[in-house]
Structure 1
Amino acid sequence: MLQVRDFMSTNIDYCTPLDNVYEAAVKMKDLDVGVIPVVEHGQLIGLVTDRDLVVRGIAEKHPGSNQITHVMSQELICVSPDDSVDKATELMARHQIRRLPVVEHGQLVGMLSLGDLASHEEVDDRAGVALNYISEDD
């Protein structure tokens, strides 16, 4: 059985609740990523996506100094490093998300993206199916 740990990225940068929207945006730009985990005392408490910054930040006229906790998503869909790739792709498809935080004992240990999966032959079909569901209109 293929496991999440075999495909996840482990060198994950993050923000803390003390960071603001501007700092998260700069970090996304510098790292060339579309999502930043928010971690407090080692525990994952939220995620901020580039879409969160636009919809909950700019569109709602919150300045760049607005705390990251005001725009982050708190209802998180996560996987464990020991979970199967099938479970991860099913969660991505069902919840129409492209990235999953990988959490072990409450600690963020990695991120799994469709890109991580699509670059491997043995799971390429599963990633394609998940992407198909994610790309569907509601």
Structure 2
Amino acid sequence: MSQQLKEIMTQNVTTVTTEQSVQEAAALMSQQNVGSIPVVENGNCVGIVTDRDIALRTVSQGQSPQNTTVGTVMTSGVVTGTPEMDVHEAANLMAESQIRRLPVVENGQLAGIVALGDLATQNIYQNEAGEALSSISVPSSPTQ
């Protein structure tokens, strides 16, 4: 029998709001040793902010992390799963969407998050995790 996301997801996820500073988000990422944090408003997942968002949309643009809000750099329109979603289905969704982290939402509220690493630690899902990572990690060509 296949597993559901609720069996492997991380619960009690650290979150930020759109009004918090990028510096606060980066500090939380450092404290939690994570590369992304879901962005919530009234419990609803409205986006996700990643270390890449911070590097490309704040630091590289010469913006001040202390004076830039998460809402201005986050990725919105986030792909989500549900606690009852089959892990195989989630792995396929992550591969198709080219994402490494999948917020898990129940009744509009953030319930947890699943990362590709969570799939990889489940022996029966190592192939799916590898396939998802392969489709995400397409090498890019440097701009000449």
| TM-score range for the pair, normalised by the shorter chain length | over 0.9
Look up the equivalent residue of 2:60 and give its one-letter code. Answer: A
- Structure 2 distance, partners of 1:137, 1:3, is 31
In structure 2, C-alpha distance between the alignment counterparts of 1:94 and 1:41, rounded to whole Å: 29
Q: What is the aligned partner in structure 2 of residue 121 from structure 1?
A: 123
What secondary structure does 2:76 align onto? coil
Match of 2:8 in 1: 7
Change (3 A) 1:20 1:28: same
List runs of 5+ in structure 1 lacking aligned partners: none
Which segments of 5 or more consecutive residues in structure 2 lack a partner in the other structure? none
Report the aligned-residue RMSD.
1.2
List, as ranges, runs of 4+ consecutive aligned residues in structure 1 with deviation greater than 2 Å.
none
Deviations 1:34-76 (A, max 9, x none): 0011111111111000000011111122211211100001020
Q: Which residue in the other structure is 1:82 paired with?
A: 84
Secondary structure of the equivalent of 1:94?
helix
Aligned to 2:44: 43
Letter in 2 for 1:60: Q
- TM-score after normalising by structure 1: 0.95
1:81-100 counterparts in 2 under 5 A?
Answer: 81-100=83-102
Shift of 1:136: 2.0
